[in-house]
Amino acid sequence: MKLKTIPDEFIRATGTLKEIQAHGFEAYFVGGSVRDALLNQSIHDVDIATSAYPEEIKQIFHRTIDVGIDHGTVLVLDGEEQYEITTFRTESAYQDFRRPDKVTFVRSLKEDLKRRDFTINALAMDVEGNIIDLFDGMDDLKRQIIRAVGNPKERFHEDALRMMRGLRFASQLDFSIETKTLEAIEAFHSLLDKISVERIAIEFIKLLLGKNRRKALLPFIETYCYQYCPGLKAYGKELLTFSELPNQRIDSQEQAWTLLIKSLNIPDHEIRSFLKAWKLSNHVIHEVQQHIYGLNQRLRGEWQPRDLFDLGLETALSVENLLFYFDRNSKLEETKACYEQLPIHDRKQLAVSGNELVTYFNKNLVNG
């Protein structure tokens, strides 16, 4: 198959591919960017795979950065653009279930593609827009299926994070996970215990923010992956309740964590420790706590001026949008109007400062 219209992101990178080819090497666009082009979705990062070894790439291009040279990746700076160029490679055993013990560079595109996680990500494209599909990824795109390349048990034993990635793709793309792939996730779910919380959190958030999170949450629960995610082990029933919320897309991770915490019925005094276990930043934790406070206030009644002042307009409106999930009507315009009627919107707008108040009251105490 040949892509009828080549996206601009690929056209801008064509010169880089042709330069590699001019030196006698193969070079292709690979992975998620090819998948997204075929799905007519926006492209974020253009990745290039080549038969050239890292040192050969560095000889071809003068402006490079060794971003992952041990694994064959060199960042090439081309004008204002930059591209990660990775040598075709095979990988040995994965003793830590995340990183290969040894990477071997090869000259074969097929050897490189067969080590990838899912068929829809094992696609390549040349500069003319011709698609190289060695594992029926195109068919899986048409069928809207997430299927591991080759033996799914081998793929997940190599890199356990692929299980969360598969679930995340189900949500983001609104695809179903193929039966054998799903069975392998259930068989190897405990290997998630070997993966860092930070990496799991990235995939989990993307899962929650996908177009059809229910399509991922149900297998996430049914395969017991949730038991190896921070703070979720005892909440299987509550996660099912969470999955039954209206399946409308969630706008932000703060909203996602708020809805999850409400569904799990986590007490207020345990919310911070729950979010800390996910290794979230203090800023995100604060924003989630603000959302939960605001949501509780709105579920009880109308906004009070002090609530709007403390939360700010952006957070208050974000909370309003969460009322949909609780079968309540949001009042966006009323909230904006009430906020605008506040005498001040920031403590810096006060006519007197805290120091002036302290000085005033201390003076009165002395005189009194």
pLDDT in tens, 29-46: 999 999 999 999 999 889
Q: What is the mean pLDDT of residues 190-202?
A: 96
Q: Report how far apart, in Å, the C-alpha atoms of 345 and of each of 19, 251, 305, 338 are.
A: 56, 25, 10, 11
pLDDT digits (tens, 9 = 90+) for 61-71: 999 999 888 88
Instruction: Tell me the C-alpha distance between 299 and 172, whole Å.
Output: 30
Instruction: Tell me the C-alpha distance between 335 and 314, whole Å.
Output: 10
State both tokens at 12: 């801008």
193 among annotated binding-site residues: no
The per-residue pLDDT for 79 is: 85
Instruction: Tell me the C-alpha distance between 56 and 87, whole Å.
Output: 10
Instruction: Tell me the C-alpha distance between 88 and 109, whole Å.
Output: 6
Q: What angle do CA 170, 67, 100 make, to 5 degrees?
A: 60
pLDDT surpassing 80 at residue 358:
no
Instruction: Tell me the C-alpha distance between 248 and 145, whole Å.
Output: 21
Q: What is the mean pLDDT of residues 166-179?
A: 98
162 among annotated binding-site residues: yes
**Mapping DSSP to helix (H, G, I), strand (E, B) and coil, where does residue 104 land?**
strand
Q: Which of 215, 216, 217, 249 is nearest to 321 (CA)?
A: 249
Q: What angle do CA 321, 323, 328 make, to 5 degrees?
A: 130
Ramachandran assignment for 261, one of left (phi > 0), alpha (psi -120 to 50 degrees), beta (any other): alpha
Q: State the pLDDT confidence band at 363, using cuts at 50, 70 and 90.
A: low
State both tokens at 167: 């679930």
The per-residue pLDDT for 365 is: 58
143 among annotated binding-site residues: no
* Range of lowest pLDDT (182-186, 195-199, 228-232, 362-366): 362-366
* AA identity, residue 51: S
Half-sphere exposure of 355 (CA within 13 A, CB side): 1
DSSP 238-291: HHHHHHTS--PPP--HHHHHHHHHHHHT--HHHHHHHHHHTT--HHHHHHHHHH
SS (H, E, C) 20-32: HHHCCCCEEEECH
pLDDT surpassing 70 at residue 180:
yes
Instruction: Tell me the C-alpha distance between 51 and 111, whole Å.
Output: 11
12 among annotated binding-site residues: no
Q: Which of 325, 90, 361, 351 is nearest to 213 (CA)?
A: 325
DSSP 302-345: SPPHHHHHHH-HHHHHHHHHHGGGGT----HHHHHHHHHTSS-S
Contact 256, 216 (CB under 8 A): no
150 among annotated binding-site residues: no
47 among annotated binding-site residues: yes
Count other Cβ atoms within 10 Å, centred on residue 333: 9
Q: What is the mean pLDDT of residues 75-87?
A: 93
The per-residue pLDDT for 323 is: 97
pLDDT digits (tens, 9 = 90+) for 129-167: 999 999 999 999 999 999 999 999 999 999 999 999 999
The per-residue pLDDT for 357 is: 56
pLDDT digits (tens, 9 = 90+) for 93-128: 555 555 655 678 889 999 999 989 999 999 999 999
**Model-level pTM greater than 0.75?**
yes
pLDDT digits (tens, 9 = 90+) for 233-276: 999 999 999 999 999 999 999 999 999 999 999 999 999 999 99
Contact 48, 84 (CB under 8 A): yes
pLDDT surpassing 70 at residue 213:
yes
**Mapping DSSP to helix (H, G, I), strand (E, B) and coil, where does residue 87 land?**
strand
159 among annotated binding-site residues: yes
pLDDT digits (tens, 9 = 90+) for 265-315: 999 999 999 999 999 999 999 999 999 999 999 999 999 999 999 999 999
Percent of the chain whose pLDDT exceeds 70 = 92
32 among annotated binding-site residues: yes
The per-residue pLDDT for 103 is: 77
Q: 22: Cβ–Cβ under 8 A, 6 or more apart, which residues?
A: none
107 among annotated binding-site residues: no
Residues counted in the chain: 368
Instruction: Tell me the C-alpha distance between 244 and 218, whole Å.
Output: 10
Bridge pairing between strands 73-78 and 81-87? antiparallel
